[in-house]
Chain A
């Protein structure tokens, strides 16, 4: 593009963009000032509530709506009514169980190697990974957190994770992702390290909850699909999980292993975690 062409193009852009129809600018000053000058003793006038800071109210309102819908539908089922208030807490993860589930129910008995082609429930998470913030090398991630990042030594041919993310969720959460070598568009498994003080993670009504142990520590095995809600009071988000998750805590870190593998394999992987070999 010559200078003249660029000049004309710029003039055209300026002219066209002036016609852009922005949404009406909301009352940001009002919301900001209310957040800077909270006055809990002074009730808001009628109608003011809907203009509370959207950062909290809208996110929370929708999350609560979804939870209420789930809750209400469960309350229609008599056995669920008594069990709905039960939850299990492992580290920062709180799992609500909707109904008692007998142990060993629906646990796949067939063991399969971790490098095998995953089952039909494996999720196409690659587009999500591509847009996640905080990707770095394993070494950079280790420098960014004050707890040791552990890697599975089982199965022996698993190798290092293909993708490593560090996300600020009130503490630095590390997410290690292994891509299926046979289906590069699919995630084979992921391992989350969630330090204490991070957002609470609630699971609601997984299809199956089973208590187990990892290295003698209490652990929970859940089978999806189910919604999972991450929250820290200000921000909530919900993800639909269609895989199995093994959750355990050790010291100040909660571990989540997401995989399509059966429990026996997940436990072997969890118990094989070792510090990064240099």
Chain B
């Protein structure tokens, strides 16, 4: 069955039809949540909640449209709320109780490539949430401008202008705080 057929079945209450759709999109939803929150437990919570909310509101979704942008849109909103919600303090407190370090040390930095990608993530995390969202969608998740516009529910032109400004700010951060990345950048510019 194709995606739109599965969506129609799921919208009619067929949970078995929802499962392959969750399987197909869980990685993208989890990854975006992780990029935005920096904590795998939080990301898992948000990913679960995303699919439960989508299931609840599936009847309102146009089955002819691709599902992924809608799911990412829900995840992005939930993650933004989570960042600012009281529950976030629980996570911090729980980490303290578990004596766990922050998000950065959870990453197995086994190669220069991973190091660079992690540095880039750190640089992006210095941006505003809306700048982060657009950069994660466009580059980390490799979405097209059209798809990113669907996720963020804005026009493609708006995505392009927001992206341009976000890139400008990211470049400034990299030049100031991530000299190794900046050197690499200058090398590729020339």
Asked if residues B31 and A32 are in contact (CB atoms below 8 Å), the reply is no
Interface residues contributed by chain A, number (CB under 8 Å): 48
Pick from B18, B44, B108, B168: contact of A54, CB below 8 A. Answer: B44
Known contacts A17-B139, A26-B30, A33-B22, A6 near B167 by CB under 8 Å: yes
- B135: nearest residue on chain A (CB-CB)? A13
Of the listed stretches B60-68, B83-91, B147-155, name the one at the interface; the rest are far from the partner chain.
Answer: B83-91
Asked if residues A131 and B117 are in contact (CB atoms below 8 Å), the reply is no
What is the 8 Å Cβ interface bit string for chain A, positions 2-39, against chain B (1 contact, 0 not)? 00011011111110111111110110110111011100
Known contacts A31-B48, A54-B48, A238-B93, A25 near B31 by CB under 8 Å: yes
A25-75 contacts to B, CB under 8 A, are 25-26, 28-29, 31-33, 35-37, 53-55, 58-59, 62, 65-66
Q: In the assembled complex, how far is the CB of residue A133 from the closest CB belonging to chain B, in whole angstroms? A: 4
Known contacts A19-B117, A20-B114, A29-B22, A55 near B85 by CB under 8 Å: no
Known contacts A14-B139, A28-B26, A132-B84, A55 near B167 by CB under 8 Å: no
Asked if residues A9 and B185 are in contact (CB atoms below 8 Å), the reply is yes
Q: In the assembled complex, how far is the CB of residue B70 from the closest CB belonging to chain A, in whole angstroms? A: 16
Known contacts A12-B185, A238-B90, A23 near B22 by CB under 8 Å: no
Asked whether B177 is an interface residue with its Cβ less than 8 Å from the other chain, the reply is no
Asked whether A167 is an interface residue with its Cβ less than 8 Å from the other chain, the reply is yes
B131-190 contacts to A, CB under 8 A, are 135, 138-140, 142, 164, 167-168, 171, 181, 184-185, 188-189
Asked whether A110 is an interface residue with its Cβ less than 8 Å from the other chain, the reply is no
Contact partners of B98 in chain A: CB under 8 A: 62
Pick from B30, B84, B90, B121: contact of A59, CB below 8 A. Answer: B90
A128 to B84: give the CA distance in the assembly, Å: 9
Pick from A32, A169, A235: contact of B48, CB below 8 A. Answer: A32
Contact partners of A230 in chain B: CB under 8 A: 86
What is the 8 Å Cβ interface bit string for chain A, positions 165-182, against chain B (1 contact, 0 not)? 001010000000000000
What is the 8 Å Cβ interface bit string for chain A, positions 236-261, against chain B (1 contact, 0 not)? 11110000000000000000000000
Asked if residues A33 and B15 are in contact (CB atoms below 8 Å), the reply is yes
A169 to B26: give the CA distance in the assembly, Å: 28
Interface residues contributed by chain B, number (CB under 8 Å): 62
Asked if residues B84 and A131 are in contact (CB atoms below 8 Å), the reply is yes
Known contacts A6-B167, A21-B117, A29 near B26 by CB under 8 Å: yes
Q: In the assembled complex, how far is the CB of residue B77 from the closest CB belonging to chain A, in whole angstroms? A: 12
A8 to B190: give the CA distance in the assembly, Å: 10
Contact partners of B138 in chain A: CB under 8 A: 10
Contact partners of A235 in chain B: CB under 8 A: 87, 90
A13 to B23: give the CA distance in the assembly, Å: 27
A11 to B108: give the CA distance in the assembly, Å: 24
Asked if residues B52 and A35 are in contact (CB atoms below 8 Å), the reply is yes
Contact partners of A13 in chain B: CB under 8 A: 120, 135, 139, 167
Q: In the assembled complex, how far is the CB of residue B2 from the closest CB belonging to chain A, in whole angstroms? A: 18
Asked if residues A26 and B44 are in contact (CB atoms below 8 Å), the reply is yes
Contact partners of B107 in chain A: CB under 8 A: 21
A26 to B44: give the CA distance in the assembly, Å: 7
Asked if residues A132 and B22 are in contact (CB atoms below 8 Å), the reply is no
Known contacts A12-B184, A54-B44, A128-B89, A20 near B27 by CB under 8 Å: no
Q: Which residues of A contact B (CB under 8 A)?
A: 1, 5-6, 8-14, 16-23, 25-26, 28-29, 31-33, 35-37, 53-55, 58-59, 62, 65-66, 128, 131-133, 167, 169, 230, 235-239
* 19 sampled A-B residue pairs with Cβ under 8 A: A1-B167, A8-B189, A9-B185, A10-B138, A13-B139, A16-B116, A16-B117, A17-B117, A19-B111, A19-B117, A25-B30, A26-B44, A28-B51, A36-B52, A62-B98, A132-B84, A237-B86, A238-B90, A239-B89
Q: Which residues of B contact A (CB under 8 A)?
A: 15, 18-19, 22-23, 26-27, 29-31, 34, 40-41, 43-45, 47-49, 51-52, 55, 81, 83-90, 93-94, 97-98, 106-111, 113-114, 116-118, 120-121, 135, 138-140, 142, 164, 167-168, 171, 181, 184-185, 188-189
Beyond contacts A22-B34, A237-B90: 11 other A-B pairs, Cβ-Cβ < 8 A, are A9-B185, A10-B138, A19-B113, A19-B114, A23-B34, A28-B29, A32-B52, A33-B18, A36-B15, A131-B84, A167-B85
